[in-house]
Structure 1
Amino acid sequence: MTHAEGTDVTLTREQMLHHAEAWIAAWNRRDVEAVLSAFADNARFRSPFALQVTGHATLEGRPAIEAYWRQALERIQRLEFRLLVAICDEPGQRMVVHYEATLGDTTRRACEIFVFRGGLKIEAEALYGDTAALPAGG
């Protein structure tokens, strides 16, 4: 899903839902290029894991986001995401993706908040839940 930056593209709810499914699938393939394709060049990404890996909780621009994800993937042998639900705010061009993330031997619930402009993500924030809150077996 690529669009020219600065265009007046407005994503429909269906397009957002498709994006959520494609995003999960791209991560499960470990396809960083596919994940990055929906980000604007000047996108901003926030994550507590980015702080652990890069020393910065907020990353500015696609090159910084890409470098973080590639470095993080080197540390993770097993990566599996399972979409639970996507909540779409079509007028506001925002979406929350709620998913289960298995990274290595740890499974936790997580949410990512995306803000779209011109059909591309300009902001994203990852929020991770407590692994102890999950029922036994996932």
Structure 2
Amino acid sequence: MQAFARDWIANWNRRDVEAVLGHFTDDPVFISPLAATITGEREVRGKEALRAYWKRASAQSTSLRFDLIEAICDVPAQTLVVFYRAEKDGAARTAVEIMRFEDGRQVSGEALYGAAL
């Protein structure tokens, strides 16, 4: 799970949406307050909808950089919490993503964002 968190950060820093999506099931649920600004809903359901959201969001930003602060995993619960610093278009804040897995595939995620740094 620690290696997964490092790879997840690296994939986002390359803006490799397909690599990020590669770990998801076909019917995941992703919750983010930022999704509402692009899709009109804070909940995104399904891999294709998630792909469309992330590609659209990525196209709207000029720069994106994540730095891993901590990854905390609960292996029996198949849950990973990634705490990171997110810098988008020159504005930085901390963020947390709670990722849930089943049989090694991500089934859900929720993004939570802190105040601007």
| TM-score interval, smaller chain | over 0.9
Partner of 1:101: 86
Write out aligned runs for 1:82-101 (5 A).
Answer: 82-101=67-86
Counterpart amino acid of 1:23? W
What is the percent sequence identity of the aligned residues? 46
3-state SS of 2:41 partner: coil
Does 2:66 correspond to 1:81? Answer: yes
Counterpart amino acid of 1:62? K
3-state SS of 1:77 partner: coil
Q: Deviations over 1:63-102 (max 9, x none)?
A: 0001000000011101000000000001100010000000
Structure 2 gap segments, 5+ residues each: none
Q: After the TM superposition, which parts of structure 1 deviate over 4 Å for at least 4 consecutive aligned residues?
A: none
Partner of 1:63: 48
Does 2:28 correspond to 1:23? Answer: no
Structure 1 gap segments, 5+ residues each: 1-15
Q: CA deviation at 1:20?
A: 0.4
Aligned partners of 2:48 and 2:109: how far apart in 1?
A: 15
Q: CA deviation at 1:118?
A: 1.2
Q: CA deviation at 1:51?
A: 0.4
Superposition CA RMSD, Å:
0.5
3-state SS of 1:130 partner: strand
- Name the larger-Rg structure: 1
Aligned residues: 117
Counterpart amino acid of 1:95? L
Q: CA deviation at 1:50?
A: 0.2
How does the TM-score come out when normalised to structure 1?
A: 0.84
Q: Deviations over 1:39-59 (max 9, x none)?
A: 110100000000011101001
How does the TM-score come out when normalised to structure 2?
A: 0.98
Higher relative contact order structure (alpha carbons within 8 Å, sequence separation ≥ 6): 1
Counterpart amino acid of 1:51? A
Does 2:27 correspond to 1:50? Answer: no
